[in-house]
Amino acid sequence: MNRQIPIYVQVAETLKGRILRNEYRFGEFISAAKDLEKEFGVSNITVRKAFDLLVREGYLKPRQGVGTQIVGQPEELVELEFSGSFWEWVNSAVTRYLKIQVEVVEIDTVLPPKRVAELLRVPDDALIWRMKRIRKIKGEPASFVINHALLSLMQNVEAAHFQEHTFLHVFQEICGVALSRVEQRVRASVADIDLSRQLGIQFGDPVFFVENTYFNHLEEPVEVSYLYFRGDRYIYKAARHF
């Protein structure tokens, strides 16, 4: 943790980030204070101060005798359209010309975050396939990636597949998915406690967040990727011909 920023603020910002990423669902009750104390390694007072801050900001609401409910909504953002080559950007972003190491942190079957469910057009209670990975350059974390895919498409893949190949290669060649297009959204963000742990950076350091939604030849969404790039390792470049 960044000791220059009060710990309760860091906990609050991390919980807010989870809310805005829809890792916590609107209307659900947030984890019990004692569980968060253990997760973050902080005191009950710290968690309560974090809750109080999020209540004041409108993300949480205490319900007497029940718990603390999530009432905040994801931010509305203005989308900027770039006309550069997406595939050239992908090649540079995943460091095609550098030696990278991939650490698969987790492969699991989970309920989708609300945002992912909407993008994949599946019910909130439909299970999906999820993988978390850390990409490293010279042994140092450079990006953190979360892939969400339809469960029916991912039956034949294992963690070892992603040590030698990109996700898109595995998705198309091993899973047999014919992709037709991708929709991409890019935004600037900062690292919360969750991201700072994965990327080896400080709370509040800048990150690029990229959301990719892939469509098959039938124009059906089949995969959603969340990519978090360290702000000190990447720049975003686009070119346009007139």
Quick: pLDDT tens for 14-69.
998 888 777 887 888 888 889 999 999 999 999 999 999 999 888 999 998 888 99
- CATH class, range 86-230: alpha beta
Span between the terminal Cα atoms of the chain, in Å: 47
> What pLDDT score was predicted for residue 235?
65
Q: Is the pLDDT of residue 2 over 70?
A: no
Q: What is the mean pLDDT of the chain?
A: 85
pLDDT in tens, 135-154: 988 888 989 999 999 999 99
Domain positions in the chain are: 7-70, 86-230
- CATH class, range 7-70: mainly alpha
- pTM of the predicted model as reported, rounded to 2 decimal places: 0.73
Q: Is the pLDDT of residue 73 over 90?
A: no
> What pLDDT score was predicted for residue 67?
87
pLDDT in tens, 102-146: 999 999 999 998 889 999 999 989 999 999 999 988 888 989 999
Q: How many residues does the chain have?
A: 242
pLDDT in tens, 214-239: 999 999 999 999 999 988 776 666 66
Contacts of 169 by beta carbon, 8 Å cutoff, 6+ apart: none
**Residue appearing with tokens 């994949």:** 120
Q: Is the pLDDT of residue 77 over 60?
A: no
Say how far apart CA 160 and CA 164 lie, in whole Å: 8
Phi, psi of 77 (to 5 degrees): -120, 150
Cβ pair 145, 133 in contact under 8 A: yes
If DSSP codes are grouped into helix, strand and coil, which group holds residue 33? helix
